[in-house]
Amino acid sequence: MVLLKKGQSEVIGLVIIVLILIVVGLIFLKFYLSKENSNKESISNIKANNLVNAIKSVSICNNNMADAIIACCTKKEFCGKDACQLINEEINDILEKSLEEIVYFEAKQQNNLCLSINNDCQGISSTENLIRNQDGDAKIRVKICY
Amino acid sequence: MKKGELQIYESVFVIFFFVVIFMIGFFLFYRFTIEDIKGSNFEFQDYKFKQLIGIIPSMYEVRCSFSLSDTECIDLSKAIAFKKVSKDYFNIFGYKKISIKEVYPEDKNAVVIYEKIPNKYKTRREISSPVAIYDATLDKFKVGKIILEWYY
């Protein structure tokens, strides 16, 4: 058994105390940061859900955007124009005017992507909203990028 | 001085020193606890403020109501009417300003539906969220922004 000198054992004690302090500091920091993030995430989630709700119900050509999105997914014309092109222009305009953050928008029909605006990113997503009319259905969602 | 006297002085000095350290520690603990309570209170108020962007569009006072469908949006006519009675909502909203602004298809001036600004305040915070707006005069849905300002 190796016997430690008094000085060496004191250094080891000091190192242990410093390590304990670092561990306690890290645990505190983890809880502090996760609380901040969860608050931000909850706000972004509300914003994303409000936005997707506003997009699907906005009036366009005496109909609503949900009908235009379904027309795009079923490759039909809407309002005498190509539905996808029309939606692209209008939703881009809405996203630009309503939020400062970059927002990704997508519409899917039977898991096939029929329309996307902006690039997919890391962020907070809205819930998937099912829109339906006599021509079919689609799922839409937005994601607020970090 | 005799050795006994010296030891008594030494003991008194140690006790005095210990009491001073204890009092400083107690004072710092008290200050940190008060600051922590103030911080927690502010965090709670801040959380309540941010949650309002989800709560206000669902309030029956301003939300759309149609006979056969449930669309979550703000009825602009209801919101304008709410402005007349909104001063009675001070217990719920406190020192805040709530406005609704149409941004699509046209950019219009904001409609203030609640406003209570204190005479003196240190800081003003603002958050906004997109929201669906129903314009009953045109029977059209539009996109707007709900803008909340908090004065404290």
Dihedral sign for Cα atoms in the order B91, B94, B97, B99: negative
pTM > 0.95: no
CA–CA separation, B12 and B18 (whole Å): 10
| pLDDT at res. A2 | 59
Q: Look at residue A79 and tell me whether its pLDDT is greater than 90.
A: no
Model ipTM value: 0.78
Name the residue with higher pLDDT: B71 or B99: B99
Give B29→chain A minimum CA distance, Å: 18
Q: Provide the pLDDT for residue A34.
A: 65
> How far is B17 from chain A, CA to nearest CA, in Å?
25
pLDDT per residue over B113-145, tens digit each?
A: 999 999 999 999 999 999 999 999 999 999 999
Q: Above 60 in pLDDT, residue A1?
A: no
Confidence of residue A130 (pLDDT cuts 50, 70, 90): very high
User: Using one digit for the tens of pLDDT, what is the confidence trace for A13-55?
Assistant: 889 989 998 998 888 887 776 666 667 788 889 999 999 999 9
Q: Which residue has the higher pLDDT, B12 or A37?
A: B12
Identify which of B50, B129, B142 has the shortest CB distance to residue A50: B129
DSSP secondary structure string, A11-33? HHHHHHHHHHHHHHHHHHHHHHH
Which of A2-11, A40-49, A58-67, B3-12 has the lowest average pLDDT?
A2-11
Q: Does A43 touch chain B (CB under 8 A)?
A: yes
Sign of the torsion formed by the C-alpha atoms of A31, A34, A36 and A39:
negative
Which of these ranges, A32-46, A52-66, A132-146, B66-80, has the smallest mean pLDDT? A32-46
Residue labelled with tokens 């970090």: A146
According to the model, what pLDDT value does residue B70 have?
A: 66
Query: Residue A81: what pLDDT?
Result: 87
Query: Could you tell me the residue ranges of all domains in chain A?
Result: 10-145
Work out the angle at residue A82's Cα, subtended by the Cα atoms of residues A135 and A69, and round it to the nearest 5 degrees.
Answer: 40
For chain A, positions 89-108, list CB contacts with chain B under 8 A: 93-94, 97-99
Verify whether the Cβ–Cβ distance A57 to B129 is below 8 Å. no
- Given A46, A58, A99, which is nearest B141 (Cβ)? A58
* 8 Å CB contact of A93 and B104: yes
pLDDT digits (tens, 9 = 90+) for B15-65: 999 999 999 999 999 999 999 999 999 989 988 898 898 899 989 899 998
